[in-house]
Amino acid sequence: MTVTEEIRTALLSMQNETFREFNAKLIPGVNDDRVIGVKTPELKALAKQFGQRSDIGDFLNNLPHLYFEEKQLHAFLIADIKDFGDCLAAVERFLPFVDNWATCDQLSPSVFKRRSKELLPHIDRWIASGETYMIRFGILNLMRYFLDGDFDPVYLEKVAAVKSEEYYVNMMIAWYFATALAKQYDAVIPYLQNNRLDGWTHNKTIQKARESYRITPEQKEYLKTLKR
């Protein structure tokens, strides 16, 4: 039995039908019959177990995967790769096969935090790719690593320049700007005052910011006046 077959067998043995029905509703882009129903802590534990295997590369190279949980497991395996170059190469191989928001957002390599500045040219390329989940992943990494000490207003421009009809791209843009308001309020507020975002994303940004505990009551009241 190959490592890929072993992983699938293990996943199927862990199936929780009630959770499968619940989880399938949260990932509308994935067919119900491609969801097994395995909870995230179990997937992470399985990733730790199989990540020690010398043949795990066979699974990582066996793309595309059939099941949603195989994609999630793949993301968790990548997250544990310690070498930056190897990790980035694994991300680049995997990204074209990411087809849902959950896998995209769970793809969070620990080594990226330590080497974030080296990500910038790759982030630019992902955002410019035209592919929904590559764009989302690029913006997500700008949000993760470049809203604090390494913040530069030019990053706001990069995200504001993204124009898309895709829900999961626009939701990511709103999430980015809502988070940016919490961390870099003075730099971000002109984007709402000057209507730099499309109407839906503008209002979703305000909604998400007003739901945040990191935004002051006074800021929330002002944001309410900017709703379009």
Predicted local distance difference test score (pLDDT) of residue 149: 86
pLDDT at 5 over 90: yes
Tens of pLDDT along 25-54? 999 889 999 999 999 999 999 999 999 899
Split at pLDDT 50, 70, 90, the class of 161 is: very high
Provide the token pair at 225. 């006046």
- 144 and 63 belong to one structural domain: no
Q: Which CA distances in Å does 39 have to 8, 18, 36, 69?
A: 15, 11, 10, 9
Predicted local distance difference test score (pLDDT) of residue 29: 85
The H or E element spanning position 71 is helix 68-79
Predicted local distance difference test score (pLDDT) of residue 104: 97
Work out how many domains the chain is built from and give that number: 2
- 71 and 148 belong to one structural domain: no
Per the prediction, the chain carries an average pLDDT of: 96
Place of tokens 């124009």: 163
pLDDT at 85 over 90: yes
pLDDT at 174 over 90: yes
- 119 and 220 belong to one structural domain: yes
pLDDT at 59 over 90: yes
- 151 and 222 belong to one structural domain: yes
Mean predicted confidence (pLDDT) in 61-88: 96
In whole angstroms, what is the distance from residue 138 CA to residue 105 CA?
11
Tell me, yes or no, whether 69 lies in a domain.
yes
pLDDT at 225 over 90: yes
The structure's pTM equals 0.94
Task: Give me the domain span that covers residue 140.
Answer: 115-228
- 73 and 128 belong to one structural domain: no
Domain end point (choices 74, 101, 128): 101
Half-sphere exposure of 167 (CA within 13 A, CB side): 5
CATH number of the domain that residue 126 is part of: 1.25.10.90
Split at pLDDT 50, 70, 90, the class of 204 is: very high
Predicted local distance difference test score (pLDDT) of residue 57: 93
Mean predicted confidence (pLDDT) in 126-151: 96
Domain end point (choices 35, 69, 101): 101
Q: Which percentage of the chain shows pLDDT scores above 70?
A: 100
Predicted local distance difference test score (pLDDT) of residue 215: 95
Residue closest to 212 by CA, chosen among 190, 173, 180: 180
Tell me, yes or no, whether 159 lies in a domain.
yes
Residue closest to 130 by CA, chosen among 178, 84, 162: 162
